[in-house]
């Protein structure tokens, strides 16, 4: 199995892929047309990326079967295109959670004590203890977390250690009262009913929402209008989750202090010119989208990437796959008990094809001794009676037939 790694990747990960018996092509600088050509020439079955965009032309360039995002988000990958072609997309959720949580806390503390301004004036040869002695402190200040996945949970643990009351909002708690109660007890925090209630009640708001069609621009003018004057706003998630123009206006009007690791328009390469009106505001601290970039996180992600690819190579299964249908369009299940002999399932599928029925999912379970099996076949419609009769009587090794409405 050939694996093309099209981003910077840990040596331990490259070594792990080779130890798993993979032919590794390491081209960390390819992108766009050069990545299309690399896929065409390498004939790779697996593509590993971090921030590199994966577009439709790349999906058609070779026999790709699996794309692994060596990180959490998959917004840089054409998921719809991959799904249409039957290409698995997998990621490494939670492996960078501690690293991002550490940066979120670092930004909160830096905003409170104005660390960057302290350093800038010291480097300029200025001593200003009178000004920089002014800080409220974070103990007792309420932290509001928009989103409560792996990263939000790690931030909550650290905030409680700093003596900060924590508010949480997440969509999943609206439909799962038991989970809400469990989280409140386990993390010693309060789950609120709406994002507006969270923003209004927090001295510091930290964003931990995954980017999707429902969260793009989620933090908008209406939500930001509920923030307290002088509050802190921290985003280590995705720049696109926040309406940048609305944040600029709110920061100016409410004198918000901002800690941002992500921005609406970031350079496509690791280095380059960067212009954003937000970073020109006083009280705004920014970092260079480095939340997951610690040695510990990258080693953990590399190990998880190797595990995913090794599992796929050895079993055909893909851990952490993100683009399988949660529910197929199947309306009926055909259950066929049969002798485990050649030609039985071919007989079944041939008659289903003649009836213009599409098989959505299938599994064949073998009994002890490998003499008999049960096939469960999910279909997009009900077989006509004539087809069911032909299936029952047309092959001596079909033992029983049952049609279940889903």
Q: Is 266 a catalytic residue?
A: yes
Q: Is 289 a catalytic residue?
A: yes
Q: How far apart are CA 300 and CA 95, in angstroms?
A: 6
Torsion of CA 208, 213, 214, 215, to 10 degrees: 30
The whole-angstrom distance between residue 178's C-alpha and the CA centroid of its chain comes to: 24
- Alpha helices for 225-294 (secondary structure H): 244-254
List of E strands, 16-77: 23-26, 46-49, 66-69
| Residue of 121, 184, 196, 266 marked catalytic | 266
Q: Is 288 a catalytic residue?
A: no
Q: How far apart are CA 158 and CA 169, in angstroms?
A: 17
Q: For residue 317, what are the CA distances in angstroms to 302, 314, 320? A: 19, 8, 10
Return the sign of the alpha-carbon dihedral for residues 216, 221, 225, 231. Answer: positive
Give Dmax (Cα) for the chain: 94
| Residue of 238, 257, 310, 338 marked catalytic | 238
| β-strands 359-366, 372-379 pairing | antiparallel
Q: For residue 170, what are the CA distances in angstroms to 227, 383, 389? A: 18, 43, 51
Q: If DSSP codes are grouped into helix, strand and coil, which group holds residue 54?
A: strand
Structure-token pair, residue 377:
């076949």
Q: How far apart are CA 311 and CA 307, in angstroms?
A: 6
| Residue of 289, 338, 351, 395 marked catalytic | 289
Q: How far apart are CA 205 and CA 232, in angstroms?
A: 6
Structure-token pair, residue 359:
């098989």
Structure-token pair, residue 215:
């969260």
**Residues labelled as active-site residues:** 238, 266, 289
């Amino acid at each position: 199995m050939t694996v093309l790694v099209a981003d910077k990747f840990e040596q331990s990960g490259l070594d792990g892929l080779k130890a798993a018996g993979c032919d590794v092509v390491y081209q960390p600088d390819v992108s766009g047309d050069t990545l299309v050509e690399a896929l065409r020439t390498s004939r790779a079955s697996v593509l590993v990326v971090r921030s590199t965009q994966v577009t439709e032309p790349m999906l058609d360039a070779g026999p790709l079967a699996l794309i692994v995002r060596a990180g959490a988000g998959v917004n840089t990958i054409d998921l719809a295109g991959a799904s249409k072609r039957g290409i698995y997309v997998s990621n490494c959720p939670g492996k960078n959670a501690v690293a991002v949580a550490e940066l979120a806390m670092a930004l909160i503390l830096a905003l409170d004590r104005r660390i960057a301004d302290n350093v800038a004036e010291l480097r300029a040869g200025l001593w200003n203890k009178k000004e920089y002695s002014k800080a409220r402190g974070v103990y007792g200040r309420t932290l509001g977390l928009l989103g409560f996945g792996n990263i939000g949970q790690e931030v909550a643990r650290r905030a409680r250690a700093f003596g900060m009351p924590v508010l949480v909002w997440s969509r999943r708690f609206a439909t799962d009262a038991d989970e809400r109660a469990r989280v409140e007890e386990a993390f010693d925090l309060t789950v609120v009913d709406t994002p507006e209630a969270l923003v209004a009640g927090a001295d510091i708001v930290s964003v931990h929402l995954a980017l999707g069609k429902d969260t793009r621009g989620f933090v908008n003018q209406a939500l930001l209008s509920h923030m307290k004057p002088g509050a802190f706003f921290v985003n280590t998630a995705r720049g696109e989750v926040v309406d940048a123009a609305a944040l600029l206006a709110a920061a100016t009007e409410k004198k918000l202090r901002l800690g941002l690791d992500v921005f609406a328009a970031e350079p496509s390469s690791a280095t380059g010119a960067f212009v954003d009106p937000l970073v020109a505001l006083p009280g705004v601290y920014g970092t260079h989208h480095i939340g997951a970039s610690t040695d510990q996180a990258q080693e953990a992600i590399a190990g998880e990437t190797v595990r995913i690819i090794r599992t796929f190579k050895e079993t055909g299964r893909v851990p952490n796959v993100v683009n399988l249908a949660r529910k197929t369009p199947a309306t009926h299940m055909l259950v066929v008990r049969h002798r485990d002999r050649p030609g039985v399932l071919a007989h079944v599928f041939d008659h289903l094809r003649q009836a213009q029925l599409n098989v959505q999912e299938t599994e064949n379970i073998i009994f002890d001794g490998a003499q008999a099996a049960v096939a469960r076949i999910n279909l997009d419609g009900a077989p006509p009676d004539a087809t069911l009769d032909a299936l029952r009587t047309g092959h001596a090794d079909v033992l029983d037939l049952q049609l279940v409405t889903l």
